[in-house]
Amino acid sequence: MPRKSDGFSYAPAFDAPIHAGTEVTILRTRGDWHEIALPNHLTGWLPDTDLEAL
């Protein structure tokens, strides 16, 4: 579940989780967290463990 900022203590960025296999764009990185953008331009933060490079 993407977060509003770079940590599990932050609230979820969306009402529902994104589906496995959804392609995202990485906007920036802070430590082990990445700010991502979905194709519909919504943004949130995911940890390394939730992302896989294609």
Domain parsing of the chain, residue ranges: 1-54
Most confident of 15-19, 29-33, 50-54: 29-33
pLDDT digits (tens, 9 = 90+) for 3-28: 999 999 999 999 999 999 999 999 99
User: For residue 36, what pLDDT band results from cuts at 50, 70 and 90?
Assistant: very high
> Which CATH number applies to 1-54?
2.30.30
Asked if pLDDT for residue 54 goes beyond 90, the answer is: no
Query: What is the chain's mean pLDDT, rounded?
Result: 95
The reported pLDDT for the residue numbered 1 is: 92
Exposure on the CB side of residue 37, measured as CA atoms within 13 A: 7
Phi/psi-derived region of residue 4, left when phi > 0, alpha when psi is between -120 and 50, beta in every other case = alpha
